[in-house]
Structure 1
Amino acid sequence: MSAVERIVAKDDSDDIGIARHLFEEIAARTADIEGVSRPAFSDIETQTLQFLEAFARKQGLDVWYDAGRNANFRLPEHRAADRFIIVGSHVDSVPFGGNFDGLAGIVAGLICLTRARRRGAGTLRPVHVLALRGEESAWFGPCYIGSKALTGRLAPAELEARHKRDGRTLDDHMSDAGIAMEDVRAGRPLIDLSKIETYLELHIEQGPLLIGKQIPAAVVSGIRGNIRHRAIRCVGEAGHSGAVPRAFRRDPVLAMADLLSRLDESWSTILGKGDDLVLTSGIVGTDPEKHAMSRIPDTVTFSLDIRSQSAATLDEMRALLDREMRQVERERKVRFEMDEELCSRPAQCDAALVAQLQAAMQRAGQKPFVMASGGGHDAAVFASAGVPSAMVFVRNRNGSHNPREAMDLSDFVAATDILYGFLEDRR
């Protein structure tokens, strides 16, 4: 019997049953044409929180909503605790996304609480499980909205960001969700950060490393920061595809391709120096009212997402982007129009917490393994707010932000065991 099989065998049939129930029910309730869609600050997101609330109350847990309308859960025995550990993640998803991204962390926290009730509440240190709203940037542009609001770090410009479907502002949507916005607009924290001892987050891995290494779970060392542009516009000049010679063209699509190729070459160079970087342009398009096979377009719009674990590398890429744009403008007679930059700084997980999670991993019968996170997470916001933070990853096939996320429940329980081992009262 392998280490993971021994872990699953010990008392985890209840845990697997709870996890399967919660994952399957929420997937069914939030299903879309493909995958799931739980838009940030939507009725669907609210109903998901209410479903988790109903489950938690049946388990005898305390449930309440904070000023950001995030759901919180704890053991009744911990009501009087002056300080506590937060185990948190988010309930929203990208459009047509996978069911486990974010939700796995909340379910893991709830399983830690229900396991403690089975074993005796005194086995667990004071814990609040936090089900956050609005982590994904897919709906409004800014990321980590719920955790930024809680910690007083949501910028006024972010509140003016508009929803990708209805065009209304983030401020409007948050107000509709029942959030009293005065403190949010003023940048005041919605919770007492001094009471939070630690922030922990369990999350599916969003890349292939754990699959390749055949490891069910890992401890996270740090989280990449990012520079994002939702819509950069390149403006050229329309023309007939057959009648305008190359020398006379002002083709914005080829200019965009030229720019991205230059950035790609720089990416390769930076990796060759041993630095960390990823670069993506996930949204590209000409005007659908105008574009045609036989027409040189006059504009093209594209997104840009640059990520690194190094703040210096991000700064270098920002400067490089500006230089290369100016060069492409001169050579191809086009103009780039920038939207507002969205920026998140890299975050390092607390070294002492990483060591303690590794020890918990070993106690759970797993070989300790530490890796960096390519994706961003709410843990980065709590870390930047001065709260010691750390993460645990679960192996997940087929990546993330797609309906084919595939997390085995045995892997999920193995990762939850690491979390629980850290939270155990070992006095």
Structure 2
Amino acid sequence: MSAAPEAAALADDAGRELAMRIFDGVAALSPDREGVSRPAFSDKETEILEHLAALAVDEGLSIGWDAGSNLWIALPEDADAPGASVVGSHVDSVPMGGNFDGLAGVAAGLVCLIRARRAGRRFARPVQVLAMRGEESAWFGPCYNASKALTGVLSAAEIDSPHKGDGRPMGAHMTDIGIDMDRVRAGEPLLPEGRMRDYLELHIEQGPLLIEKGLSVAAVSAIRGNFRHRAVRCIGEAGHSGAVPRAYRHDPVLAMADLLSRLDESWLAILQQGGDLVLTAGMVNTDPERSAMSRIADEVTFSLDVRSQDTEVLDNMRTLLRDEIAEVERARGVRFELGDEVAVAPGAMAADRVSALQDAMSGLGLDPFVMPSGGGHDAAIFAQSGIPSAMLFVRNRNGSHNPNEAMEIDDFLVAVAVIDAYLSKGAP
């Protein structure tokens, strides 16, 4: 992947050296068999934060830690300033993931601060960088855990979620690193009132749109909310593949396919009407011990992930899902069990902040492109808490949550230039 023409104009050798110093230093501390692993609420995550803190201090910046053991970095004169514009993201990763997911957002803010410090320059308003923990769901199940704790909305069920490895609850791991879980369990926001004026998060794009359009960056209009069912069961009746006629079958695999086909038709209709929706069944399984090529399965399990920027679309899809299930059950003689639902509300980015990012892009000679985010991010949690929030995507080949993430450093520096321009003018 070659950098877009504008990237060369906005990147420079000093910027490349600084960016690679950050990315390479963190990667060297968190290697796995493939890619990197930085578990949420772990000693490794703490080591990464302490490494970034040391790098910031070496550059003459001030650091601090909040009650959630998240790292804050600022110019010395802005360290205690209330009402700061906060640039942030997370430093944890999925197992054997890529080095840029999450970390790029922290690095972008850090590069902006270091450049300002080296030049003796101030921003229009106080700026602070927030490096958070525990965003990824891969370790405990819940996601956005640090931002939820900061805003006082981390639930008891989420706190008690078991670790995928040792089985201990997330709250125990949080206690291990010094977080006051009495405050978290009480729903007390760990973020001091008035500290954050607004929030800006850079993230690698997790899809192919910027690659296909040949653009380095995009502003994000909204973060899709979702509802998910991790293990939907469709229960039918086993039988011999050659001996049971169609009229007498209760085939859960075909019933599942029927349901997904119906949902897919509705997805297309919603898109044709200008709505926003994505739908995925990423896990499909029959029991390997009982399944055979010559056997009609008695049960199939599958996951269902439904996402949209529009709460009404999500609510309508919930209703549609149950209506279609009832139809398929009658037609196929099977039974569906949805199991528990996990849901996250959509997070609309602040329109004036999105416009300010577009202005910053235009001022740098970039196409002020705007797009939704299909993946979830901490910015949605801050937005839902009433903090004006914005996001910037930087193009990246090969998606995310895998060791093959391929963000070009020059594209990253384009995004840094946009953030710097946004902060220098001052958010609305």
Tell me the TM-score normalised to structure 2 length: 0.92
Structure 1 window deviating more from structure 2 (352-361 vs 158-167): it is: 158-167
What is residue 188 of structure 2 aligned with on the other side?
A: 188
Question: How far is the alpha carbon of 1:306 from its aligned partner?
Answer: 0.7
Q: Do 2:82 and 2:196's aligned partners in 1 also have CA atoms closer than 8 Å?
A: no
Does 2:153 align with 1:150?
A: no
Structure 1 window deviating more from structure 2 (107-116 vs 46-55): it is: 46-55
Paired residue type of 2:161: A
Paired residue secondary structure (2:148): helix
Structure 1 residues 26, 70: CA separation in 2 closer, same or farther (over 3 Å shift)?
A: same
CA distance in 1, matches of 2:420, 2:267: 39
What is residue 377 of structure 1 aligned with on the other side?
A: 377
What is residue 7 of structure 1 aligned with on the other side?
A: 10
Paired residue type of 1:62: S
Question: How far is the alpha carbon of 1:328 from its aligned partner?
Answer: 2.2
CA distance in 2, matches of 1:335, 1:302: 14
Paired residue secondary structure (2:97): coil
Paired residue secondary structure (1:319): helix
Paired residue type of 1:401: H
Paired residue secondary structure (1:34): coil
RMSD of the TM alignment (CA)? 2.3
Question: How far is the alpha carbon of 1:423 from its aligned partner?
Answer: 1.3
CA distance in 2, matches of 1:49, 1:240: 58
CA distance in 2, matches of 1:80, 1:44: 28
CA distance in 1, matches of 2:46, 2:131: 11
Determine what percentage of the aligned residue pairs are the same residue.
59
Q: Do 2:229 and 2:303's aligned partners in 1 also have CA atoms closer than 8 Å?
A: yes
CA distance in 2, matches of 1:418, 1:177: 35
CA distance in 1, matches of 2:246, 2:171: 47
Structure 1 window deviating more from structure 2 (289-298 vs 395-404): it is: 289-298
> Where does 1:4-403 land on structure 2 (aligned, <5 Å)?
4-8=7-11, 12-123=12-123, 125-403=125-403
Question: How far is the alpha carbon of 1:17 from its aligned partner?
Answer: 1.0
CA distance in 2, matches of 1:365, 1:212: 19
Paired residue secondary structure (1:314): helix
Q: Do 1:64 and 1:72's aligned partners in 2 also have CA atoms closer than 8 Å?
A: yes
CA distance in 1, matches of 2:189, 2:389: 18
Paired residue type of 2:8: E
Question: How far is the alpha carbon of 1:243 from its aligned partner?
Answer: 4.6
Paired residue secondary structure (2:122): helix
Paired residue type of 1:129: V
Structure 1 residues 141, 111: CA separation in 2 closer, same or farther (over 3 Å shift)?
A: same
CA distance in 1, matches of 2:290, 2:168: 26
CA distance in 2, matches of 1:285, 1:57: 51
Q: Do 2:79 and 2:128's aligned partners in 1 also have CA atoms closer than 8 Å?
A: no
CA distance in 2, matches of 1:217, 1:352: 18
CA distance in 2, matches of 1:163, 1:246: 44
Paired residue type of 2:186: A
- Alpha-carbon displacement from aligned partner over 1:357-396 (angstroms, at most 9, x marks no partner): 2222223332322222222211111011000111111111
Structure 1 residues 372, 300: CA separation in 2 closer, same or farther (over 3 Å shift)?
A: same
Question: How far is the alpha carbon of 1:254 from its aligned partner?
Answer: 2.7
Q: Which runs of 5+ in 1 are unaligned?
A: none
Paired residue type of 2:250: R
Paired residue type of 1:260: L
Structure 1 residues 325, 175: CA separation in 2 closer, same or farther (over 3 Å shift)?
A: farther
Paired residue type of 1:206: Q
Paired residue type of 1:214: G
Q: Which runs of 5+ in 2 are unaligned?
A: none
Q: Do 1:144 and 1:378's aligned partners in 2 also have CA atoms closer than 8 Å?
A: yes
Structure 1 residues 203, 193: CA separation in 2 closer, same or farther (over 3 Å shift)?
A: farther
Question: How far is the alpha carbon of 1:404 from its aligned partner?
Answer: 1.8
Q: Do 2:61 and 2:117's aligned partners in 1 also have CA atoms closer than 8 Å?
A: no
Question: How far is the alpha carbon of 1:165 from its aligned partner?
Answer: 3.8
Q: Do 1:141 and 1:230's aligned partners in 2 also have CA atoms closer than 8 Å?
A: no
Corresponding pairs, count: 424
Structure 1 window deviating more from structure 2 (98-107 vs 158-167): it is: 158-167
Structure 1 window deviating more from structure 2 (303-312 vs 88-97): it is: 88-97
Paired residue type of 1:250: H
Paired residue secondary structure (1:421): helix
CA distance in 2, matches of 1:237, 1:28: 53
Question: How far is the alpha carbon of 1:206 from its aligned partner?
Answer: 1.4
Question: How far is the alpha carbon of 1:224 from its aligned partner?
Answer: 1.1
- Alpha-carbon displacement from aligned partner over 1:140-179 (angstroms, at most 9, x marks no partner): 3322122111101122232233333444333333333332
Question: How far is the alpha carbon of 1:304 from its aligned partner?
Answer: 1.3
Q: Do 1:4 and 1:366's aligned partners in 2 also have CA atoms closer than 8 Å?
A: no
Structure 1 window deviating more from structure 2 (309-318 vs 149-158): it is: 149-158
